[in-house]
C-alpha cells in the first residue's frame, strides 16, 4: 500500500501559493532558523545544493501546500527565495532524491526547537475560556495520523491491529480469532492545548503502540505553576499524577466513576476528599467531584473528576465541573491539524520516521504562524450540572 500520488502544477498558475510561501520567511526569519540549526548541531558548511536553512523552509512549504509533490513545492519555494538577499543566484532545482537526502541530514530536532521558540504567549485575561480564576486552563490532547506504508515507518510506528475470524478447523470444527495488522502505519501525537484559543504550545510524536500516558510524559515539563491541566482520560497512577504536577501545575482529570476511592471527608460544596490508601486507586490527596448532566442518557454512569485543588472556597466543585464540561464540548485542536486531501491515503508523505516528525512539527508551526480563522460556534444550551455529594 503506497502513499497517494501528489500532483505537480505549473508555478505560473499558483500566485496564491507563491504569496503564502513568501510569508514563511517573515513568520520564521532566517536568523531564527539559523539559531535553531546551530542549537541542534545542524549548521552545514557552504556549497550544498540544499543548505539546512533551505530544507527547513522546504519542510514548512510541504505543509503549506498540502498534497502537492516535492518538485512543485521546490519550484515554488526557490522561486520565492530568489527574492531573498541571501539566496545564491543561479542555483539549480534539486531533484527528489536530493531533497530526501537533505531531509534525512536535517532530522526532526530543528523543527522541534523552532516550534518551542515560537510558541505564542498565554491568552489575555479577557479570554475568559482560557482562565479559571487565576489559573491558565490547558487541556491534554491526542491524535493518531496515518503515515505512508514504507518499511521504516511500519517498523517504527507500527500498524493498527484488527481481529478477524479464521474458517473452522477441519480437525476441531472451531473458528479461531486472530489479530492482523490493518491499514497504514500510524503515528501518535500528544499535545498541550490552551483552552479558549486552541493554541498547541507543546507536543511530541511517537509510535502507535506507545500508551498515550507514556507519550504525554514528554510534555509534562511544560505544566508549570499557575496552570490547571484538564484531561478527559485521566489516570490514577501515582507516578503519572506526580510527573504531571512536578512543575507546580494543578490537575483536573476525569476518571471512571466506578473507581472506588478512600473517601476521608465530605465537603460543603458537594465534593469529597480522598487520600492514598493501600490501594493504588488514589494517586495523592485529591478532591473528588461526582456529577450528572441533564443531557446524559437515562442509565448513563455519572461523571467523576479528580483535582489537586483542595480548597472548595477557592475552587468550588460546581465551577470546576462547569469548566470541564465547557472544554469537553469543544473540538480537539489536533483533529484539524492536517489539511484536507482529496482521495484516500495519508496526508503526511515521508517514508521515514524522522521525516514524519518533521512534517508534524511543521504543521504545528504553520498553525502558530497562520492560525485558522475562529468561527462563532453555534449556540448550544449548556447542560445543567447536578452534583452527587456521596457517590462512593
Tell whether 92 and 138 lie within a shared domain.
no
The H-or-E segment that residue 288 falls in is strand 286-293
pTM score of the predicted model? 0.84
Average pLDDT over residues 180-206: 89
Domain presence at residue 46: yes
Tell whether 201 and 322 lie within a shared domain.
yes
Tell whether 139 and 97 lie within a shared domain.
no
**Residue 161 pLDDT > 90:** no
Q: Which of 84-93, 121-130, 168-177, 185-194 has the lowest average pLDDT?
A: 168-177
Tell whether 305 and 202 lie within a shared domain.
yes
Tell whether 86 and 136 lie within a shared domain.
no
**Among the listed residues 117, 116, 122, 120, the one whose alpha carbon sits nearest the alpha carbon of residue 135:** 122
How many domains does the chain divide into? 2
**Residue 7 pLDDT > 90:** no
pLDDT at 180: 65
Which of 90-94, 114-118, 331-335: highest mean pLDDT?
114-118
DSSP 326-384: HHHTSPPGGGGSSPP-SSSS-S---SSHHHHHHHHHHHHHHHHHSPPPPPPPPP-PPPP
Which of 95-99, 220-224, 347-351: highest mean pLDDT?
220-224
Residue 88 burial (CB < 10 Å; 0-12/13-18/19+)? exposed
pLDDT at 94: 79
Average pLDDT over residues 207-223: 79
Domain presence at residue 164: no
Domain presence at residue 6: no
pLDDT at 226: 96
CA atoms of 288 and 331, how far apart (whole Å): 26
Domain presence at residue 340: no
Domain presence at residue 306: yes
Average pLDDT over residues 132-147: 93
Q: Predicted confidence band at 246 (pLDDT cuts at 50, 70, 90)?
A: very high
The 3-state DSSP class for residue 36 equals helix
* Percent of the chain with pLDDT strictly greater than 90: 46
Average pLDDT over residues 228-239: 87
Q: Which of 28-32, 98-102, 103-107, 278-282 has the lowest average pLDDT?
A: 278-282
DSSP 140-180: EEEEEEE----HHHHHHH---EEEEEEPPPTTT---EEEEE
Average pLDDT over residues 250-274: 92
Hey, CA dihedral for 315, 317, 319, 320, is it positive or negative?
positive
Task: List all residues 6 or more positions away from 239 whose beta carbon is below 8 Å from its beta carbon.
Answer: none
The 3-state DSSP class for residue 10 equals coil
**Residue 5 pLDDT > 60:** no
Contact between 352 and 104 (Cβ < 8 Å): yes
Amino acid at each position: 500500500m503506497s502513499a497517494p500520488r501528489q500532483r505537480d502544477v505549473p508555478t505560473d498558475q499558483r500566485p496564491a501559493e507563491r504569496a503564502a510561501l513568501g510569508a514563511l520567511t517573515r513568520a520564521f526569519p532566517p536568523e531564527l532558523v539559523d539559531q535553531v540549526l546551530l542549537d541542534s548541531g545542524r549548521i552545514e558548511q557552504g556549497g550544498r545544493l540544499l543548505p539546512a536553512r533551505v530544507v527547513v523552509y522546504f519542510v514548512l512549504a510541504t505543509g503549506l501546500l498540502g498534497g502537492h509533490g516535492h518538485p512543485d513545492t521546490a519550484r515554488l519555494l526557490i522561486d520565492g527565495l530568489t527574492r531573498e538577499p541571501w539566496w545564491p543566484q543561479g542555483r539549480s532545482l534539486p531533484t527528489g532524491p536530493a531533497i530526501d537526502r537533505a531531509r534525512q541530514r536535517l532530522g526532526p530536532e530543528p523543527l522541534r526547537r523552532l516550534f518551542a521558540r515560537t510558541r505564542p504567549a498565554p491568552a489575555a485575561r479577557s479570554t475568559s475560556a482560557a482562565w479559571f480564576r487565576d489559573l491558565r486552563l490547558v487541556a491534554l490532547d491526542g491524535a493518531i495520523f496515518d503515515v505512508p506504508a514504507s518499511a521504516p515507518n511500519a517498523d517504527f510506528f507500527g500498524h493498527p491491529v484488527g481481529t478477524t475470524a479464521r474458517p473452522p478447523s477441519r480437525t476441531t470444527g472451531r473458528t479461531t480469532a486472530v489479530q492482523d495488522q490493518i491499514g497504514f502505519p500510524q503515528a501518535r501525537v500528544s499535545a498541550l492545548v490552551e483552552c479558549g484559543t486552541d493554541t498547541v504550545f507543546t507536543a511530541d510524536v511517537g509510535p502507535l503502540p506507545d500508551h498515550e500516558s507514556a507519550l504525554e510524559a514528554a510534555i509534562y515539563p511544560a505544566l508549570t505553576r499557575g496552570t490547571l491541566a484538564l484531561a478527559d482520560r485521566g489516570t490514577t497512577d501515582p507516578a503519572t499524577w506526580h510527573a504531571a504536577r512536578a512543575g507546580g501545575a494543578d490537575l483536573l482529570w476525569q476518571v471512571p466513576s466506578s473507581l472506588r476511592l478512600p473517601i476521608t471527608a465530605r465537603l460543603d460544596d458537594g465534593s469529597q476528599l480522598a487520600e492514598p490508601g493501600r490501594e493504588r486507586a488514589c494517586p495523592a490527596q485529591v478532591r473528588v467531584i461526582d456529577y450528572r448532566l441533564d443531557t446524559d442518557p437515562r442509565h448513563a454512569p455519572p461523571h467523576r473528576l479528580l483535582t489537586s485543588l483542595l480548597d472548595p472556597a477557592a475552587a468550588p466543585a460546581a465551577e470546576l465541573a462547569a469548566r470541564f464540561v465547557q472544554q469537553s464540548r469543544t473540538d480537539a485542536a489536533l483533529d484539524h491539524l492536517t489539511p484536507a486531501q482529496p482521495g484516500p491515503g495519508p496526508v503526511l508523505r515521508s517514508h521515514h520516521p524522522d521525516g514524519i516528525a518533521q512534517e508534524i512539527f511543521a504543521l504545528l508551526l504553520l498553525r502558530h504562524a497562520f492560525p485558522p480563522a475562529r468561527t462563532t460556534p453555534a449556540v448550544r444550551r449548556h447542560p445543567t450540572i447536578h452534583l452527587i455529594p456521596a457517590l462512593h
